[in-house]
Amino acid sequence: MAKALELQVGLRRDGSAKDWVNDNSSVGYFSNPDALTAPDDHTMGNSARTISSVRTPGTRNVTMSLFKEFSLARLREGTRLEYRLEAFNAFNHPQFDVPDTAVGSDTFGKIFNTANRSRELQMALKFYW
């Protein structure tokens, strides 16, 4: 049976309750892994089913297109050639996947993957007649 998440109320050195935000980003955690613990067997946790202050990393994805038409009226009236250049994830920004949600594991709160692919370029020629 799945265990509910329990909000662990502990104190930091400065005396405030534990926060979701990770103070040490060099550790590789997106959020504070010590803020949640699994409750004891046959007990309910005291946190909400959805915790609105916990967020996954944001996304930034830019897709760009460049089109250029060349008239080929010298060959035949109304003909033209279109050159297309399309870039998917043009700026190659990584979009990180969701953190590991297995409470109590050594990897809880860590992010291991990206959710998007790397930059892709696509070129095409289109002939209209």
The single-letter code of the amino acid at 23 is D
Mean pLDDT value of segment 16-27: 53
Q: Are 91 and 120 in a shared domain?
A: yes
Task: Tell me the per-residue pLDDT of 64-101, one tens digit each, with 9 for 90 and over.
Answer: 999 999 999 888 898 999 999 999 999 998 888 877 77
Number of domains in the chain: 2
Task: Tell me the per-residue pLDDT of 115-125, one tens digit each, with 9 for 90 and over.
Answer: 888 999 999 99
Q: Are 89 and 69 in a shared domain?
A: yes
Q: Are 76 and 127 in a shared domain?
A: yes
Q: Are 94 and 118 in a shared domain?
A: yes
Task: Give residue 72's domain range.
Answer: 57-98+111-129
Distance, CA of 83 to CA of 107 (rounded, Å): 48
Comparing 13-17, 21-25, 46-50, 123-127, the range with the smallest average pLDDT is: 13-17
104 domain-assigned: no
Over 80: is that where the pLDDT of 58 sits? no
Pair 121, 86: CB distance under 8 Å = yes
105 domain-assigned: no
121 domain-assigned: yes
> Which pLDDT score, from 0 to 100, does residue 54 have?
61
Over 80: is that where the pLDDT of 108 sits? no
For residue 65, count CB atoms less than 10 angstroms from its CB and return exposed for 0-12, middle for 13-18, buried for 19 or more: exposed
Comparing 43-57, 75-89, 102-116, the range with the smallest average pLDDT is: 43-57
Over 90: is that where the pLDDT of 41 sits? no
Over 60: is that where the pLDDT of 3 sits? no
Q: Are 23 and 49 in a shared domain?
A: yes
pTM more than 0.75? no
Q: Strands (DSSP E) along the chain, which ranges?
A: 6-7, 36-37, 64-71, 80-88, 120-128
Q: Which two tokens stand for residue 15?
A: 């005396």
40 domain-assigned: yes
Over 70: is that where the pLDDT of 25 sits? no
120 domain-assigned: yes
88 domain-assigned: yes
User: Which residues are CB-neighbours of 105 under 8 A, at least 6 positions away?
Assistant: none
